[in-house]
Every structure is written in C-alpha cells, then in structure tokens.
Amino acid sequence: MNFKKFFGFLLCLLAVVLFGATQVKAVAPSSQIVENVSTQVLNLPEGVEFHIRKDKTAQNGDITAAKRDQNVQAIVVPKAAETVELVVWAAGDDHKWGRATLRSSIVDFERRNPGYRVIAGVNGDFFDISDTFQPSSAHVSAGDVWKKDNRPYKTLGIFPDKSYIIGQMTTNNYLSLKTVEGRIVTSEFKIDVENKLPTGNEVALFFPGSAQKLNVAGYNVYKGNYDIYRVSKDMGYVTPKPLGKFLKGEIVEKSS
C-alpha cells in the first residue's frame, strides 16, 4: 500500500455532509423575534461587524403572548470577505480533549495555526466538565470529524464562499484510514485490527501509547507523527462506552 501524506482515522466515519453536498437557501429570521428595539454595531477588522441587539420576543413562538426582553448578539461577516474564515476549534493537548475558556481557546488556536488572527469567538457547545472534557455533540473542524454524535441531531456546515448546509450525519461502524492530499481524499482503507499484528491481507493500526516490541519481519510498516489525537466516549450510560477515535498526522518513514 502506498499511503500519501496525511491520514485520519475514525471509529465510525461520517459521510461528507458538511462540505460535499448541495447548498441550501438562506432561511428567514426566527419568528420568535417580533420587534427590534435597538441595534448597536461595532466595527471589527476585515469588515466584520459585531451586532448588539435588544429585541422583543414571543414566548414559545406565540405572538399573542406577552413579549419578553431579549439580548441578541451576532457576528456579521461580509460574504465577499475572502480573508475571513469561520472555524470550529476545541482546545486541548495533542492527545486528549481539554477544557478552556473562550479566551484561552483563542490563544490555543493562534498558537497551533501560525498566520491566523482571531477577531471574534462564540461558545459553541456544552462539554463534559468533570471527566473527558469532550464536547457534548459532534465536533467537526476544517472538515475533519474529531467526534461523532449518535443522537439524531442535524449539523450545520459552512462552505468557503460563506454559504451553508444543514444535514443529518450518517456513520459506518468500522475503523478506517483515509489518505488526503490537500482536502481531497485519495484513498481509503478499512482497518481490520487495532494495536496488534494483522494476518493475511489485514491492515493494522497502532495508536499512540500502544508501544510494544513486535516482530514486524515481512510486514510493510508506515511510521508517522500525529498532530491531533482524540478518543471519545458515549456518556449516555452509567459506565461510558467507547464512541470513536480520531488521529491526524503525517507519514514520515516506510520500512518493509
């Protein structure tokens, strides 16, 4: 097998619904906002605007009910702003999830992505604060699915041209290896065994932390370095069950 430069693994791979499907049209603002009282606009770099609104909303969408005061904040990005990207990020070490404030998450992103400057940030999800520190729902960053979600929730994806799509993710219940050039998947292999030698035409994957002395004579061995490694759990049980793994890095050596 001739593995290319980058590789990523998931216990349950997600179909490409965020960046490879048909675009959807924009939807109207929520009908629960029935009156805008005031809007303050703050100008940020690259033409981005921070809107601070005071609105009147209808409780549970009932416009006949008493109106409630609501503070609504929004980041408005010009569609023509080619230098501005919307990204999803989760702070942590190379090999595990981590908890962090929004400010420290910004520092972590800029440290790991030289040349980028964060101009605005929004808390995106709840997370397990006491044990794994993993996000509660699916986590997709730059098209890579770090964590899936078995629950029937829809996912929002943003295209580079600022259009978006909303779709239901699907999964495969097996481990796979993908080789990627740029953002294009050039090959995909099913992983047959994990952290042990394969037999026949099987493909094995050894994750970080599984170092052991093995006789690999006669095997094609690919060694690599990883940038991101995340292990996720299904927290919907008294004793959490394994949910998935994601590993991304670079092949640096091949031996036979």
Count CB neighbours of 194 within 10 A.
14
Q: Which residue has the higher pLDDT, 95 or 19?
A: 95
Q: Which residue has the higher pLDDT, 55 or 160?
A: 55
pLDDT tens digits, residue range 27-63?
A: 334 457 888 899 999 999 888 999 999 988 887 777 7
pLDDT of 5 > 70? The answer is no
Q: 214-226 b/e with 16+ CB inside 10 Å = b?
A: eeeeeeeebebeb
pLDDT tens digits, residue range 188-198?
A: 888 888 888 88
* SS3 track for 203-230: CEECCCCCCCCCCCCCCCEEEEEEEEEE
Average pLDDT over residues 211-230: 82
How far, in whole angstroms, is CA 78 from its chain's centroid?
A: 23
pTM over 0.75: no
Instruction: Report percent pLDDT > 70 for the chain.
Output: 87
pLDDT of 1 > 60? The answer is no
pLDDT of residue 66: 79
